[in-house]
Structure 1
């Protein structure tokens, strides 16, 4: 949504704001975002717990999810802005506008369909990034999970567990990329797998 808003308001305040936020969000690493979320939302405002799963309530998951999601949202916003601007400048969009279609119809039905292709391509590497980023986030938020066990195994020199975890993460990455390839054919009818 942010990328679409920026593309529709190109070279205006909304565009510059989204670009600035997206650039900042995509360049700040998760090991910096996590302590900031803990400090601001946990210690200062007392809205979120600092770490652990606690009683399993949904509020305990907000901090880790925000930490993992913010960089991905920023990258998607930048990708969407660029591809939406390119899509809005294409010939079929000019034709749709010349036929008298409303701006809403042009953007939603025609421009978004072409602009979403880079986002679909990005979801495979993004899923791999979430898996590897969870290693850091689980450690910072004291969450028992695969990432935490991976760090403990590395510190205890349990190479078998480290290699097994790497293989599992690699398999998930391969599966996510396969799903992305299949989705690409669904989103773009020009791509067909025989």
Structure 2
């Protein structure tokens, strides 16, 4: 269980003892996501940058061909943030940083400096049938995943999650008319 920082230590212990085996939780992760999301999403989701950077900078990945880099970017690095993005709107800054890492990895580096980018990432992110390589635009992909959640709330209003979110965020109006605070997912 979580307690507000305004709850005294004595009250925390009383509640914990009365509930039995339930433990007080601290800032931990559950299914790879932080259990408490603070106001600074860059700080909370910064682990994504580190995780993606570690995957791409592995010594095994330095010698990959362009085809191998494409597979790595699509299969690993672009799939890693999907779970996070399906329930949270990532900041534009974070999406741009991750996209920049993808582009720098794609074009490579020599002697510690990034090589020249021969075309923009946005051209590479186009579908293959129109001349791109089919990489995902993270900002648009994030919006699509969140829209899928909204559709689920609308089409299945009897689900527990739909009822809880409606009661908390848009109990008076529709989901399209409610004003969402900046610190919610």
Q: TM above 0.5, one fold?
A: no
TM-score (norm 1): 0.31
Give the strand-richer structure, 1 or 2: 2
Structure with a larger share of its residues in helix: 1
